Structure 1
Amino acid sequence: MGERKIGLVATIAIAVAVLVGVTIALLVFDPRATGADALRTGGLAAGSVVALYALWLNDRRRRTEEKRQELETQRQELDRERYALEQQRQALEDRRTAQDHVRAADERFARAVELLGNEADQVRVGALHALAGLARSNPDYTQTVLDVLCSYLRRPFDHPKWTRSDDVEIAEELQRERTVRQTASKLVVSLLPTTDEVDPPRYDLDIAAAFMDRFDLSGRVVGRLDAQACRFRHRTNLEGAVFHRKVDLHDATFLHPLHARKAVFHDRLVLTCATSSAPVSFSLAEFHGEVALREARFAEHVSFAQASFRAHLDLRWASFSGGIDLRVSSPVPATALHESEVNTAADVSLPDGWDLDPLPSPNLARISAEPLRQDHAHG
């Protein structure tokens, strides 16, 4: 501010000097110039000095503003670079945290799996709960944990309740192992999404050849279920469950009732060579893929009442000693009936147009449907 005042004073002084000098010079060197003319010319010269100062001052102000804008631009650029560096630092920190989290989860998983081999049943139960907790806190681990739990259930288990008379005395060790297995089974179910969830994940279960006790998937969503040669004890409950991929129960054994009322099967249901000693219900179920009961044996009543079919039903060589209810929801599916047998002394309900062809054995007949007699060639 002081520099500007000095410049202004100096400009005024120079302008006055120019005014005086030009006026005197004209009066001295130009005899024709009057005093007024000399004064006017001096004033114009003084004004030019002031105008030149104003132009210089304006140019200086412009250059100062440009410099300020340039500095502001540089400051903004530095702020952007600082923000980008902060984002990179935060991303690196997040990545490091995530890696630490994954490493800790991996260590928890490894420790829990190792403890599954412990001789103490309470330690194995704790390990199962640790795995389930890991899956709940880390959804990416859910399928892996389910695979481990199912693998544990597939371990050999020679329990008399599944193979021999219920009156056999059970060793304490087997009883404890049964408790551990029941825990594993319940944890498997607890990790599956329910049908109330919107667009739930679809996890696969592989329990082939396992011994399952009170297996309850009611109201759960499952991807694929592999349960070939499984033995199911107590009630097996699939009521309201939704299966998005194949359900394979080939050669499975049901020692107690199988309830699959209102279950939805989006892919094939395979019950070939399966046996059941208790009632089986698929009433109001939905079948979007083939239903295969070929060579299955059912000692008690089987119900497909009001079930809906969108694909083929295969009953070839199946035996229904306790009767069957095939009054399915319209339309009646194309059905392979070759050598399918039913006990006529039991409750038998067939769709309109179907009939029973008596066999030489008492109370034994074959199911037939005239329009579908040739369908038994289906593979």
Structure 2
Amino acid sequence: MRGRVLLAASVLAAILVTATTTVVLLLVEPTASKAEAIKTGGLAGGAVVALYALWLNDRRRRTEEARHQLESDKAADERFARSVELLGNEADQVRVGALHALAWLADSSPRYKQTVLDVLCAYLRRPFSHPSYTQQADDPEQATTDEAPDADRERQVRLTAQRLITDLLPWGMNHDPRAYHLDLTGASLEYLRLEGRRIGRLTARRTRFYGVTRLGSLQASKPALFSGATFLGRVDMRDARFEGGISFQHATFCGEVAFSGASVGTFIDVETTSPERHTGAIAVAEGSRIAGDPATWPLAGLPPSPARAGA
């Protein structure tokens, strides 16, 4: 009904413009022929109809685009739901395929990226243990374990989830302005690699890190919480920037930790035993809150304490 009214209005407007233009031309240019005046008026009226046709085509185009977007969103929602469902499949290859499907969805539909990261983190938070963790926690790949095929297959699925998390986070020339958060509370992680990535909040309370943990050049704009975490292998934090603060409260370090070039702002919690083996120091930004005894940790940029100043 609305379309018919608009069409009728455009026709009437065209007729009015044609008549008005013709009359004005005849009044302004008395010497002009009536045929020329009518012809010019007709062109003006036709222009009105043409403008209406262009508007109508643009409206139809926008409507079609909206319909396609709606269908695309619906298909993405269905793909997401199906992929999450397949994460509970007994076959490890099906679970790996579901993880890749979720990663593809996060790349093709950016609105899903944080949700997909949440799902991948939730998968890693599931209870898991592998015989190699007790044999050689600092380098599980070097352990010889042939008696746990089911654990081996699940281990590969989890390593795939870790790799996809790393791949989804922005780094280098990827200028994605969003800060993505990771919640790995209580997870068992193996050879975690987040070097060079940009993230928001990193929650790793009571998390167990097996093998080498690579956090070099990591940029965290929100707090990085390692409260109660256990690092069973080497840790590389060189040139990492923890702008939102970092907590090592009650954390345990079993291997060497590289702090060279690392910096922290806002706050740092070192209410725990400092790593026995470490290189470099963490530069603490001026005005940052410090919990714990900074004298027992390799921290740089701190004002001298009264005791040190008196000495």
Structure 1 length as normaliser, TM-score?
0.67
Q: Where does residue 37 of structure 1 map in the other structure?
A: none
CA deviations on 1:44-77 (whole Å, 9 max, x unpaired) are: xxxxxxxxxxx9xx85845444433332221111
**How much identity, in percent, do the aligned residues show?**
37
In the alignment, the residues of structure 2 paired with residue 302 and residue 372 of structure 1 have an alpha-carbon distance, to the nearest angstrom, of 28
Structure 2 length as normaliser, TM-score?
0.80
CA deviations on 1:258-303 (whole Å, 9 max, x unpaired) are: 1110011111111111001011122111222211111x23453134
The change in CA–CA distance for 1:172 and 1:372 in structure 2 (over 3 A counts) is farther
In the alignment, the residues of structure 2 paired with residue 212 and residue 372 of structure 1 have an alpha-carbon distance, to the nearest angstrom, of 46
CA deviations on 1:109-142 (whole Å, 9 max, x unpaired) are: 1111111000011110111011111111122211
Q: Which blocks of at least 5 consecutive residues in structure 2 are unaligned?
A: 1-25, 137-142
Q: Where does residue 285 of structure 2 map in the other structure?
A: 309
Matched, 1:78 2:49: yes
Question: Residue type matched to 1:197 in 2?
Answer: N
Displacement of 1:304 in angstroms is 4.0
In the alignment, the residues of structure 2 paired with residue 372 and residue 180 of structure 1 have an alpha-carbon distance, to the nearest angstrom, of 57
The alignment covers a number of residue pairs equal to 277
Q: Where does residue 125 of structure 1 map in the other structure?
A: 96
3-state DSSP of counterpart to 2:189: strand
In the alignment, the residues of structure 2 paired with residue 94 and residue 165 of structure 1 have an alpha-carbon distance, to the nearest angstrom, of 58
Displacement of 1:97 in angstroms is 1.2
CA deviations on 1:193-215 (whole Å, 9 max, x unpaired) are: 11333354321111111111110
3-state DSSP of counterpart to 1:101: helix
Alpha-carbon RMSD: 2.8
Equivalent residues in 2 for 1:285-304 (5 A)? 285-294=262-271, 296-298=272-274, 300-304=276-280
Select 1:174's aligned residue among 151, 171, 186. Answer: 151
**Cα pair 2:248 2:269 within 8 Å, conserved:** yes
Q: Where does residue 15 of structure 2 map in the other structure?
A: none
Select 2:247's aligned residue among 267, 270, 277. Answer: 270
- Larger of the two Rg values belongs to structure: 1
In the alignment, the residues of structure 2 paired with residue 298 and residue 287 of structure 1 have an alpha-carbon distance, to the nearest angstrom, of 16
Equivalent residues in 2 for 1:224-243 (5 A)? 224-243=201-220
In the alignment, the residues of structure 2 paired with residue 92 and residue 226 of structure 1 have an alpha-carbon distance, to the nearest angstrom, of 43
Question: Residue type matched to 1:85 in 2?
Answer: L
Select 2:198's aligned residue among 217, 221, 233. Answer: 221
CA deviations on 1:291-318 (whole Å, 9 max, x unpaired) are: 1111x23453134437353343636268
The change in CA–CA distance for 1:123 and 1:369 in structure 2 (over 3 A counts) is farther
**Cα pair 2:198 2:219 within 8 Å, conserved:** yes
Matched, 1:370 2:308: yes
In the alignment, the residues of structure 1 paired with residue 269 and residue 52 of structure 2 have an alpha-carbon distance, to the nearest angstrom, of 66
The change in CA–CA distance for 1:159 and 1:87 in structure 2 (over 3 A counts) is same
Matched, 1:189 2:127: no
In the alignment, the residues of structure 1 paired with residue 173 and residue 242 of structure 2 have an alpha-carbon distance, to the nearest angstrom, of 17
3-state DSSP of counterpart to 2:209: strand
CA deviations on 1:329-354 (whole Å, 9 max, x unpaired) are: xxx225xxxxxxxxxxxxxxxxxx67
Q: Where does residue 204 of structure 1 map in the other structure?
A: 181
